[in-house]
Amino acid sequence: MSKKASIVGAGLVGSLWAIYMAKKGYKVDVFERRPDMRRADISAGKSINLALSDRGLKALEGAGIGADIRNMAIPMKGRIMHDNKGNLTFQPYGKEGQAILSISRGGLNAKLMDLAESHEGVNFHFNAQCLKVDIAKAEAKFRMDGKESLVKSDLLFGTDGAFSAVRKSMMKTERFNYSQEFIEHGYKELSIPANEDGSHKLDKNALHIWPRGQFMLIALPNLDGSFTCTLFLPYEDERYGFNQLSNDDAVMGFFEEMFPDVIPLMPNLLDDFNENPTSSLVIIRCFPWTRGGKVALMGDSSHAIVPFYGQGMNAGFEDCTILNQFMEKYGEDWGSIFEAYEEERKPNADAIADLAMQNFVEMRDLTADPDFLLRKKIERKFSEDYPSLWMPLYEQVTFSHIPYAEANDRGKMQRAVMDEIMKLDQIESRWDSEEVMAELRRRAESLPRL
């Protein structure tokens, strides 16, 4: 008889992991607190679209469903920065042919559930609220259809997000380290609808950013011609904070001052602003992620991060890749699998949490800084000439499978090298000269190899 695995949370990571476990021969049940999103119109309370990149794609391919997902997405080849006067600057994310994929969270989630259900025989239970978990026994109590029921399994996975019920039960076990840290910014979703002919009002193959120092607006394209926009702004600030935007005049005045080119693109600005909630952003860290070879946390339940590197989903999907690798190594020795998994993933989760906060500063501030843009140009040219010596940090994170912690470490060394290069005489005019490239090469050769 096949062993039984229960997964708490039918979000992106839970639905994908269900496919992995089913393919390995486990009998898989997924329990989800909400109704079936494929039947009800619910947004899961989170952002409408996401950036899928190489780590996420690899995990989808590992489950044999990469092709099913790719054609649901719009490639974004780089950032387009919008300044106060409406001037645009394009900055590619990677090399020719590289792109991150804008994809609908709901569409992707529904597709993963469909594939799990119809191809792999996974059983989904909706409106099933996890009340508590006996961590030592991997027994979970759910409220389903108004009554409580106890579910016993050989293995239990908590993929129930940043405010995980499984983790809450784990917190009551001995010496469990935990932190939740809310950043000072909140976010609000807005939208740019499609043109009447269904086309996009802005270049659809880019992620648009309106960087304004302490805050920013971004826009990601949807397949239907619209863009989903997100305003990231401090909750409280003396000049520019959500606290200052308490009436329509204040909102319009703020947009006229800061995002004048956006106003004609957003006919529903005030309605969106008033109707959509202001949501918070939290960083969750904890350890251990597993207990007794029976229970494991995956995705946001173990490592929720801020969205500024577009890596939240990708990191969660990479958990599946890594956990699957250890299943292949250790068979059914779940004690060893879980130990190896949490040892491998924890430093990488911490690194992407830090990188995501750093990238917030880059997106909202540095993308408008000439010095920063010059650095990026120099790095790009050099890495094209010497790909074995230099991969810009963004590419390491987004277009490679280098562990996040290693990328973070190498990124710091590269920044120190670039600090020196930027001090060279007349770097603004000589940046692509042979001497500058030779100097950069000399320094790059002393770094650990990729």
Please, which residue, 288 or 411, has the CB nearer to its own copies?
288
List the structure tokens of 205. 């193959």
The count of residues interacting with its own copies (CB under 8 A) is 12
Give dist(CA 323, CA 326) in Å, integer.
5
With a CB cutoff of 8 Å and minimum separation 6, the contacts of 295 are 133, 135, 138, 155, 156, 157, 158, 166, 170
Give dist(CA 3, CA 235) in Å, integer.
48
The answer to whether 126 and 12 have CB atoms below 8 angstroms apart is: no
Is there binding between residue 336 and its own copies (CB under 8 A)?
no
The site string for its own copies over 159-188 (x = CB under 8 A, - otherwise) reads ---------------xxxxxxxxx------
Is there binding between residue 343 and its own copies (CB under 8 A)?
no
Supply the minimum distance, in Å, between the C-beta of residue 147 and its own copies.
24
Considering only residues 385 through 424, tell me which ones interact with its own copies, judged by CB under 8 A: none
Range 141-156 burial, b when 16+ CB lie within 10 A, else e: bbeeeeeeeebebbbb
Please, which residue, 79 or 185, has the CB nearer to its own copies?
185
Considering only CA atoms, which of 88, 351, 104 is closest in space to residue 208?
Answer: 88
Supply the minimum distance, in Å, between the C-beta of residue 180 and its own copies.
5
Measured CA angle at 224 (ends 220, 229), to 5 deg: 25
Please, which residue, 236 or 248, has the CB nearer to its own copies?
236
Is there binding between residue 280 and its own copies (CB under 8 A)?
yes
Could you count the other beta carbons within 10 Å of the beta carbon of residue 376? 18
The site string for its own copies over 11-50 (x = CB under 8 A, - otherwise) reads ----------------------------------------
Please, which residue, 282 or 424, has the CB nearer to its own copies?
282
Is there binding between residue 238 and its own copies (CB under 8 A)?
no
Supply the minimum distance, in Å, between the C-beta of residue 349 and its own copies.
16
Supply the minimum distance, in Å, between the C-beta of residue 16 and its own copies.
29
Is there binding between residue 330 and its own copies (CB under 8 A)?
no
The answer to whether 287 and 267 have CB atoms below 8 angstroms apart is: no
Is there binding between residue 243 and its own copies (CB under 8 A)?
no
What angle do the packed helices 370-385 and 434-444 form, to 10 degrees?
A: 80
Measured CA angle at 69 (ends 74, 348), to 5 deg: 90
Considering only residues 48 through 67, tell me which ones interact with its own copies, judged by CB under 8 A: none
Please, which residue, 135 or 151, has the CB nearer to its own copies?
135
Please, which residue, 183 or 202, has the CB nearer to its own copies?
183
Q: Which residues bind its own copies (CB under 8 A)?
A: 174-182, 235, 280, 282
